[in-house]
Amino acid sequence: MASFPPKFKVLVDKEVCTGCLKCTLQCPFDVHIYDKEGFKASGKDKDERKNFIVRNQENCVACQRCVFTCPVKCIQIEVRPPTYNPHPVWTDAVRRDLKTQSDTGGVLLAAMGNEQPYPSYFDRLVIDACQVTNPSIDPLREPMELRTYLGRKPEKLEFEDNGTSLKTQLAKNLKLETPIMIAHMSYGAISLNAHKSLANAAAEQGTFMGTGEGGLHKDLYHLADSIIVQVASGRFAVHEEYLKTGAAVEIKIGQGAKPGIGGHLPGRKITEPISKTRMIPVGSDALSPAPHHDIYSIEDLSRLIYAIKEATRYKKPVFVKIAAVNNSAPIATGIIRAGADAVVLDGFTAGTGAAPQVIRNNLGIPIEAAIASVDQRLRDEGIRHWGSIIASGSMRSSGDVAKAIALGADAVYIGTASLISLGCTVCKQCFTGKCAWGIATQDPNLTKRLDPEVGARRVSNLIGAWSHELQEILGALGLNSLESLRGNRDRLRGVGLSQTELDVLDVLPAGR
Amino acid sequence: MCGLGGFINKDGKKVDGTAITTMGGMMEARYDERGGGFAAYGIYPNHSDQYALHLLFDDERAREATEEYLKDRVNIVKDECIPTASVKEIAPVHVPWRYFIDVPEDFEAVEADFLVDTVMKINGSIPGAFVISSGKNMGVFKATGLPRNVAALFKISDYKAYAWSVHGRFPTNTQGWWGGAHPFNILDWSVVHNGEISSYGTNKRYLEMHGYECKLRTDTEVVAYLFDLLVRKHGLSAEVACSIMSPPFWKNIDRSDKREYYEALRMTYAPAMLNGPFAIIVNNKDSMIAFNDRIKLRPLIAAELGETTFVASEEAAIREIEPELDRVWAPRAGSPVIARLNNAGGK
């Protein structure tokens, strides 16, 4: 007996249903089950087959796969109204968690970002606009520049030959045509088709995709100029060619969804091609330790940064990713001083394929506060140009991107948004490996549902659309280049924030 | 909207303040009485080796505090009230004062930085005291009022200079006050500006990282500090500084044979780019530089007659003082007008 009532109602319009059985083939969660034997035994007409589909409502995760694939659109999923006697402290969600944990005795697993109702600072920041004195600019008629360079910049330039030729040698930077990159999601956590879609979209938009810590499948090496390869604590898939192939290397220390926690890809997801890419045996669990076992201090990190730089002949920028935590500002300056070309800040609402729920819901700080404090700290130390700031963690729209940049970020990563673009409905079952949309799964029957060409077009559309919207925002601000918005907190105002919060974000309240 | 104008005689020939006052007066439709000012170069030949600090004091206490502060830091060679006439349109809310100072020998190697620091300290920490200019053999005169009344107040026609600029202000972002009038100055850089620096927050925070404090409550200030940083501290030419502040578009850079050069400039100096509508005239002791924003959202006209180069918001302002000109042109967006003294360093 289940410990709690089903969360969703599966409603089927029997008048409309044709009994085609598509839902029974599409649902990976065993909600729609066809009782073939029963139907045969009944000797009934084919028209009656629809009455032999059993609906196991308790298995439903509201992924909507059946709803979208039903040829006659006769299925509807509804949230069941709360069934427990209401209580403000012991909410339904709390009671479900307690019962689940009592069933299994285990750590509760969760997927996607933090679900606690913390306030969003993005939602309490508004963007300025021009009226009269500084004319707004129409991006359809005037150039509007989003190009961004990530990496170390010199403090100043020196010239020779009477100022005509450049003497200063610039460090290798990544050139982005839009400040929106695709976040690190590993091949293993997501399917090869998903990786292909994202990599092609990044290449098409002149931006970059992160590999995550699962390495890069050989089929994607031809797109490596648009790919940032990751080195994480498990060191899966890390070899010389991998490092040299990517456009940049990112060392992952932590991630926003699970600060201080490693990763766990279950053995059943380690199929043959994943085993080859990750360089681990088929079927073995891929466990990433919480810390890197060769990094116990900032000086250890510096060694790894320079080991990678040596291995790549100083031709690849090296980024370091951390979860946004209380001490992000001094940690980030340490990272930049340790030699990193960019620091990636991952906020506490960042997504994941699997994390302990208690970690995901309770650890870390909002990305907005981390961007503001890291940017200011680097300036206070006079080293803002030494490295770039990349922000990630639940960027929901181009508005969030513009605000992140105005607070001080150079660029952002989008993860969940790009998956939603591919078809994800945020049903939060990534860790089950049963993704009905072919994204977070390695089951060949499921992964084939994602056509990488269609996927690439959709994600490219999304990034292109956000880029157009960023241009509109810049135009409204009277700016024709993104660099004039970067760190320009003057063009933000806070609504409904305390003075302390305004001070942290370094923005004025609306009306002032 | 504002009106601005200026001219420089490349031979260093000086004229009195009558012409520049006339030039400013021709553009009265462009501004109101909430801020006018002048910058003049070559006006203190007897003190040409000393820094001339022009200050505005709210009261006697501010002056005493400033004097105490300066005495500890520099050698005051001479100080006096800047001569003024009584003008009924301008209430004397500040006392204008000037100090001619020498920087102590110990600091000679870092003289300019020392002086910038001194100016920042006074403006940032002495209530009621504002340094409005701090160059050698030059000065800024400004107040809340029409340029012609400000000229009368400061007896501008009594000064003789080889380079002049004028500004009439129609303030739309910060309230009008004497210190907020143009020109803005640091060392011998002075700036007059028509428009709005929409990238102010980015520029300000970049300058703060380099030790500048933006305390004057207006956006134009950042232009003076950017010139000081780029040209004096980083040793870049005025041409390079202009292509940092008003750079070519990427689409032009990408097909330019100097792609690498411009890419390096934009990468390195991205936070120094000025964005928003502007026409700006910048002077220092050797030159006059005028330039526009990248899509020319503010008017700027240039002209030449013999060894004199003129710039202004309106051609009429130039024609009013010199009806016959050798050449008149509208500089393209991103193409600065740069006129240098033939004998740079001349007085």
Structural domain spans, chain A:
8-83, 148-155+174-509
CA distance B235 to A85: 75
Q: Which residue of A has its CA nearest to B238?
A: A163
* Torsion of the alpha carbons at A168, A169, A170 and A171, rounded to the nearest 10: -140
**C-alpha separations of B77 from A2, A317, B48, B65 in Å:** 92, 55, 12, 18
Q: Across the strands, what pairs with B15?
A: B161
Burial track A173-210 (b if 16+ CB lie within 10 A, e otherwise): bbebebbbbbbbbbbbbbbbbbbbbbbbbbbbbebbbb
Sequence-ordered alpha helix ranges (H) in chain B: 18-25, 60-73, 111-125, 147-153, 200-209, 221-227, 238-245, 250-254, 259-268, 315-321
Query: Which of A422, A417, A415, A408 has its CA nearest to residue A469?
Result: A417
The token pair that represents A508 in the structure block: 């004025």
Over the Cα atoms of chain A, what is R_g?
Answer: 25
**Measuring CA to CA, which residue among B285, B268, B193 is closest to residue A155?**
B268
Pick the range with the lowest mean pLDDT from A11-20, A264-273, A491-500, B144-153.
A264-273
Residues of B in contact with A158 (CB under 8 A): 235
Cβ burial of A435 (10 Å; 0-12, 13-18, 19+) is buried
Cβ neighbours, 10 Å, residue B45: 10
Rounded CA gap, A7 and B27, in Å? 73
User: What was the pLDDT predicted at A149?
Assistant: 98
Residue B251 CB neighbour total at 10 angstroms? 10
Say which residue the tokens 């104008």 belong to.
B5
Residues of B involved in catalysis: 2
For B9, the token pair is: 């005689």
Paired with B279 in beta bridges are B194, B292
From chain B, the residues in CB contact with A170 under 8 A are 264, 267-268
Cα distances (angstroms) measured from residue A231 to each of A132, B146, B173, B233: 50, 65, 49, 40
The count of residues in chain A is 512
**A57 with A76: CB under 8 angstroms?**
no
Token pair of A131 as six digits: 């009226």
The pLDDT tens digits of the residues spanning A291-315 come to 999 999 999 999 999 999 999 999 9
At B213 the pLDDT is 84
Residue written as token pair 């320079």 = A306
A166:B261 CB<8 A:
yes
CB contact under 8 A, B275 and A142: no
CA count, 13 A, side-chain hemisphere, B135 = 28
CA distances from B158 to A54, B14, B161 (A): 100, 12, 10
B276·A153 Cβ contact <8 A: no
Q: Which residue's structure tokens are 């501290």?
A: B233
Give residues 77 to 96 of B whose Cβ lies within 8 Å of A: none
Q: Is the pLDDT of residue A1 over 70?
A: no
State whether A485 and B202 contact (CB < 8 Å). yes
d(CA B184, CA A71): 71
Place of tokens 């044709």: A18
What is the separation, in whole angstroms, between the first and last Cα of chain B? 33
What is residue B93's predicted lDDT score, i.e. its pLDDT? 93
ipTM of the complex: 0.92
Instruction: Give exposure, B123-140, as e/b (b: 16+ Cβ within 10 Å).
Output: beebebbbbbbbbbbbbb
Helix axes A367-380, A398-407, angle to 10 degrees: 30
Q: pLDDT truncated to tens, each residue of chain B (347 aa)?
A: 699 999 999 999 999 999 999 999 999 999 888 889 999 999 999 999 999 999 999 999 999 999 999 999 999 999 999 999 999 999 999 999 999 999 999 888 899 999 999 999 999 899 999 999 999 999 999 999 999 999 999 999 999 999 999 999 887 766 678 988 999 999 999 999 999 999 999 999 999 999 898 876 678 889 999 999 999 999 999 999 999 999 999 999 999 999 999 999 999 999 999 999 999 999 999 999 999 999 999 999 999 999 999 999 999 999 999 999 999 999 999 899 999 999 875 44
For the segment A460-476, the average pLDDT, to the nearest whole number, is 98
Q: Check: CB of residue B23 under 8 Å from CB of residue B166.
A: yes
pLDDT at A144: 97
Burial of A14 (0-12, 13-18, 19+ CB in 10 A): exposed
Which listed CATH number (2.30.110.10, 3.40.50.1440, 3.30.360.10, 3.60.20.10) goes with B3-340? Answer: 3.60.20.10
One-letter identity of residue A277: T
Residue A196 has pLDDT above 90, yes or no: yes
Residue A500, φ and ψ in degrees, nearest 5? -65, -40
Strand partners, B193: B280
DSSP-based three-state secondary structure for B335: coil
Closest by CA position to B281, among listed B257, B260, B300:
B300
pLDDT of residue A81: 85
Q: CB of B130 within 8 Å of any CB in chain A?
A: no
CB contact under 8 A, B264 and A157: yes
Q: Is the dihedral of CA B230, B234, B238, B242 positive or negative?
A: negative
CATH architecture of A8-83: 2-Layer Sandwich (3.30)
Of the candidates A60, A73, A57, which has an alpha carbon nearest to the alpha carbon of residue A29?
A60
Helices A398-407, A452-476: axis angle to 10 degrees equals 60
Place of tokens 């850079």: B253
Q: Mean pLDDT across the stretch A353-361?
A: 94
User: Do residues B148 and B32 touch, judged by C-beta distance below 8 A?
Assistant: no
Q: Going edge to edge, which strands form the sheet with B51-57? A: B75-81, B95-102, B51-57, B129-133
Place of tokens 């319009």: A13
Q: Is any Cβ of chain B less than 8 angstroms from the Cβ of A147?
A: yes
Whether residue A445 is predicted with pLDDT greater than 80 in this model: the reply is: yes
Q: Which of A490, A491, A505, A512 best probes binding to B when mutated, by most B CB atoms within 10 angstroms?
A: A490
A501, A121 contact by CB (below 8 A): yes
B267 → closest Cβ in A153, A481, A484? A153
Q: Under an 8 A CB cutoff, do B209 and A384 touch?
A: yes
In chain A the first and final C-alpha atoms are separated, in Å, by: 60
Report strand pairing: B308-312 vs B287-292. unpaired
- CB pair distance less than 8 Å for A487 and B202: yes
Angstrom distance (rounded) from CA A407 to CA A399: 12
Mean pLDDT of chain A: 95
Helix (H, G, I), strand (E, B) or coil at A492: strand
Kindly state the tokens that stand for B53. 């600090």
Note the CATH architecture for domain A148-155+174-509: Alpha-Beta Barrel (3.20)
Tens-digit pLDDT profile for residues B22-58 = 999 999 999 888 889 999 999 999 999 999 999 999 9
Q: B231: helix, coil or strand?
A: helix
**Distance (Å, whole) CA B110 – CA A183:** 47
Domain boundaries, chain B: 3-340
For residue B16, which of B224, B156, B173, B223 has the smallest C-alpha distance? B156
Q: Does B277 touch chain A (CB under 8 A)?
A: yes
pLDDT at B170: 85
| Per-residue pLDDT, B347 | 41
| Contact present, A112 and A351 (Cβ < 8 Å) | yes
Which of A480, A482, A489 is most worth mutating to test chain B (most B CB atoms within 10 A of its CB)? Answer: A480
Q: List Cα–Cα distances, A28 to A53, B35, B57, in angstroms.
A: 15, 73, 79
